[in-house]
Amino acid sequence: MNWSVGLAAAHLPSSETELWACFPKSSRKAAYPYVLEIDRWYWYQQAKSQLLKNLDDDRNYNVAKNLILFIGDGMGMTTVTTSRILRGQKLGKTGEENELAFDKFEYVALSKTYNTDSQVGDSGACATALLCGVKGRFETVGLDDSGRYDKCQSSFQSRIPCLADWAQAEGKSTGLVTTTRVTHATPAAMYGHSASRYWESDDKIPEESRAACKDIARQLVENDPGRNINVILGGGRRHFLPRKENDPRMQTDMGRREDGRNLIDEWLRDKKTRELDYEYIYRKEDFDKVDPAKTDYLLGLFNHGHMAYEVDRDSGPDGEPSLAEMTRKAIEILRKNPRGYFLMVEGLDDKISDVDNMPYTTLLYANGPGYNHNFPTGRENLTGMNTEDKNYVQQSAVPRRWDTHGGEDVPVYAHGPMAHLFRGVLEQTYIPHAMAYAACIGPQRDDCERRRHTFHRQVIECPSPHTNSATTSTALVASNIFLTATWLFWTLILHSRTLSLWEPC
């Protein structure tokens, strides 16, 4: 069997010109608008083009100057497939033949998503694995397995360094962009170490533990690496403001802090004391006025809680920037550093049943708020219902206030320098170590320097922290991002010589 396959491969056409010579002229069709109109030769050509591309695989061993990690909770295969079809249909196609930006990446892998004490992981512990390279316990952040949920004392010896620490140690700039609260579970793992993902401000910490354990917002403002993160954009003002202070945009909402501290003012004082170029903003109008050339540190908190979904977003002067706009602004600020940067971006977009002849949507969830209690003996008939309405909630089989993580392996898509490191079935903990190796930072730095000199290829030296290395390549590592943002980012990504990686938690 192997000999036959090898023999066949040895006689494959070596170019697309030679490939087309194998087909009748009448079959040499260009692109087709609808899948059902395409004959067999189209699929032969498509397969052969992909095969020739794979046979001509030229691995990129360059050192990555920049790292960008995209994370999108919920972007499992079902959501990705549905999004691919929907986008194709919006482009006037049938949908299935459409390609998303990351579908074109050269390398694909699968990543496991469990925690050390849970088969189905949560965002905090999954983000710890993605950002720190160590698995932890359910609903803890930035801790190894010895850290226990809700146990303050257990966090003292279980704190672990992460990608932001490794990048800053090499003189790189760092940034955080999210549509959630900046203290929420996933972004918190970039800089925080907490026995509970819910300790976003001191009001959530048990009173007996408040003196010993800092809340996540304080860690962002006071501790390394948080206080040295150059760009912080997202929501969550409530965890930075004292309980008796009104929110500047939402006057009926108050801060959550019980210690009476205004951490936004403290962030501003810290940057002023250190004589840095900084800005704090909370409106779209002020965001648009930020000059990246004159700003090295930017804090933008655009909502009292999570930022609005894109379909609900107020894009006016008093509103919020989009995820794409925030990412673009962050890169414009971070890329000024000749040593490079690390940026983390997190984003939260009719058939007939063969059984009961009632329509259902392509996207369905096993549990969540879409369960309808009014139909105990069957499911709801969607005939005449506007499933495209922005407030429509997808059906689910089990009632819950919100959906849960699925626990299944999730896809990883990679492109660019050292992208070939992302193959097969991976532990989530492998991802930041591979990123560190690609950029020659952190615990993989020495191994990176030693091993790359053994390749019989052009190798770029790993730069020292004191060397301007503007010639090294950019690496983008991305975990499954919100699809609308992916397409907005693609032009930016495509011209960055990037390593791209997509893997949802």
**Residues designated catalytic:** 123
Is 186 annotated in a binding site? The answer is yes
Nearest to 469 by CA among 325, 311, 366, 339: 339
Summarize the chain as % helix, strand, coil (round to 5). 35, 15, 50
Is 405 annotated in a binding site? The answer is yes
Is 380 annotated in a binding site? The answer is no
What is the DSSP secondary-structure string of 406-452? --S-EEEEEBSTTGGG--EEE-TTHHHHHHHHHHT-GGGHHHHHHHH
| Sequence-ordered strand ranges (E) for 187-253 | 231-235
Say if strands 67-71 and 173-181 run parallel, antiparallel, or are unpaired. Answer: unpaired
Strand partners, 414: 107
Helices and strands per DSSP (H, E), number in the chain: 14, 13
How far is 476 from 67, CA to CA, in rounded Å?
A: 5
Nearest to 404 by CA among 361, 430, 376, 371: 371
How far is 461 from 349, CA to CA, in rounded Å?
A: 42
What is the DSSP secondary-structure string of 93-114? S-STT---GGGG-SEEEEE---
How far is 312 from 294, CA to CA, in rounded Å?
A: 32
What is the DSSP secondary-structure string of 260-276? ---HHHHHHHHHHHTT-
CB 216 within 8 A of CB 226: no
**For residue 181, what is the DSSP state?**
E
Nearest to 164 by CA among 179, 177, 175: 175
Nearest to 190 by CA among 116, 282, 128, 120: 128
Is 373 annotated in a binding site? The answer is no
Strand partners, 235: 181
In the three-class reduction of DSSP (H, G, I as helix; E, B as strand; rest coil), residue 345 is classed as strand
In the three-class reduction of DSSP (H, G, I as helix; E, B as strand; rest coil), residue 167 is classed as helix
Is 427 annotated in a binding site? The answer is no
Query: Which residues are CB-neighbours of 363 under 8 A, at least 6 positions away?
Result: 78, 79, 82, 394
Annotated binding site for Zn(2+): 73, 405
Annotated binding site: 73, 184, 186, 346, 405
